[in-house]
Amino acid sequence: MPHEILIATESDLRQAVSLDLETVTTVEDAFKVLASGTVVMPPILSMAIEAANGEVDVKTAYIPGFDGFAIKVSPGFFDNPKLGLPSLNGLMILFSAKTGLVDALFLDNGYLTDIRTAAAGAVAAKHLAPASVRTAGVFGTGAQARLQIEAAHLVRPFERVLVWGRDTAKAADCAADIAARLGIEARAEADPEKVVAGSELVVTTTSARAPILKEEWLHPGLHVTAMGSDQGEKNEIEPGALAAADLYVCDRATQCETLGELRSALAAGMWNKGTPPELGAVVTGTHPGRQNDEAVTICDLTGTGAQDTAIATLAHKICSARGVGSKMAV
Q: Report if residue 254 touches a second copy, rule: CB under 8 A.
A: no
Q: Report if residue 56 touches a second copy, rule: CB under 8 A.
A: yes
**Alpha-carbon torsion 279, 285, 286, 287, what sign?**
positive
Which of these ranges, 72-80, 148-156, 189-197, 313-321, lies near a second copy under the rule CB under 8 A?
72-80
CB of 279 to a second copy, least distance (A): 22
Which positions from 91 through 150 interact with a second copy, judged by CB under 8 A? 91, 93, 95, 97-102, 105, 107, 109
Closer CB to a second copy, 76 or 140, in the complex: 76
CA trace torsion 40, 118, 217, 258 (10° rounding): 30
Q: What are phi and psi of 247, to 5 degrees?
A: -150, 125
Q: Report if residue 7 touches a second copy, rule: CB under 8 A.
A: yes
DSSP state of 313: H
Closer CB to a second copy, 45 or 190, in the complex: 45
Q: Round to whole Å and give the CA distance between 102 and 94.
A: 6
Q: Report if residue 190 touches a second copy, rule: CB under 8 A.
A: no
> Residue type for 157, please?
P
Closer CB to a second copy, 73 or 172, in the complex: 73
DSSP state of 260: S
Q: Report if residue 197 touches a second copy, rule: CB under 8 A.
A: no
CB of 92 to a second copy, least distance (A): 11
Which of these ranges, 24-32, 53-61, 176-184, 250-258, lies near a second copy under the rule CB under 8 A?
53-61
> Residue type for 14, please?
R
The DSSP string of 197-250 is: HT-SEEEE----SS--B-GGG--TT-EEEE-S--STT---B-HHHHHHSSEEEE
Q: Round to whole Å and give the CA distance between 278 and 273.
A: 14
Using CB under 8 A as the criterion, which residues of the chain lie in contact with a second copy when the complex forms? Answer: 1-2, 5, 7, 9-10, 40-49, 51-52, 54, 56, 58, 60-62, 64, 69, 71, 73, 75-77, 80, 83-85, 89-91, 93, 95, 97-102, 105, 107, 109, 328-330
